[in-house]
Copies of this chain bind each other. A is one copy, B any other.
Amino acid sequence: MISPSKAAEVLAIFNGQGAMRMLGARIVQIDDGMAEFELDFRDELSQQAGYFHAGVVSTLIDTAGGCAGFTRMPEGSDVLTVEFKINLIAPAHGEKIVASGEVIKSGRTLTITQGKVFAHKNGVATLCALMQQTLISVARKTQST
C-alpha cells in the first residue's frame, strides 16, 4: 500500500498530464511499485491501418511506468523519463488497451521499470507491447510558463 500523501502525489501527476486527458486514459490501479491504465479506441488514436498508434501505446505505457516508479520515489520529488524502449509485438487492435508498469529496481537516483500492454478485442486480451524504461527522480519545481 502507498501512503495517502503518496497516493495524492501520484494522482496529481496523472491529473496534471494534459496528454492523459487528451488520450482519455483511465486509472485501473496504482499501488506500491505498479500502475495500470486503460484507454478506449477511437479514430484519433489510430495509425494508418486502424490499430492504436505505436506512439499512443508508448504514451500510455510510458506514463504507467513513470507512475509506478514514482510511487517509490521520495515525497517532494518529481519523475522524468530518461529513456525507454518498446517492442510492438502484435498489432494493438481492439476496443481498448491496458498498460501496466512495474518497478524492477528503485535506486536513489534511477528507477528501472518494465511494462506490458494488452489489446482487448471481443473479450480476448493479446499482449501487444513490451517496454523497458529508465526514470530519474528530480527535485520538484513549481511550474512557470
Q: What chain B residues lie within 8 Å of A83 (beta carbons)? A: 83, 85-88, 134
Interface pair B110/A82, CB less than 8 Å apart = yes
Q: How large is the interface on A (under 10, 10 to 19, 20 to 34, 35 or more residues)?
A: 35 or more
Q: What chain B residues lie within 8 Å of A84 (beta carbons)? A: 54, 58, 85-86
Could you give 30 example pairs across A and B, Cβ below 8 Å?
A12-B48, A13-B48, A17-B47, A17-B53, A18-B43, A18-B46, A19-B45, A19-B46, A19-B47, A22-B45, A49-B143, A50-B143, A53-B63, A54-B59, A54-B81, A55-B55, A55-B60, A58-B58, A58-B62, A80-B91, A83-B83, A83-B86, A84-B86, A87-B112, A87-B132, A89-B104, A90-B105, A104-B130, A109-B109, A112-B130
Question: Which residues of A come within 8 Å of B, CB atoms?
Answer: 12-13, 16-19, 21-22, 42-50, 53-56, 58-60, 62-63, 66, 78, 80-91, 104-105, 109-110, 112, 114, 127, 130, 132, 134, 136, 141, 143, 145
Describe A's contact surface by its main secondary structure: mixed
Interface pair A48/B17, CB less than 8 Å apart = yes
Q: What chain B residues lie within 8 Å of A114 (beta carbons)? A: 114, 130
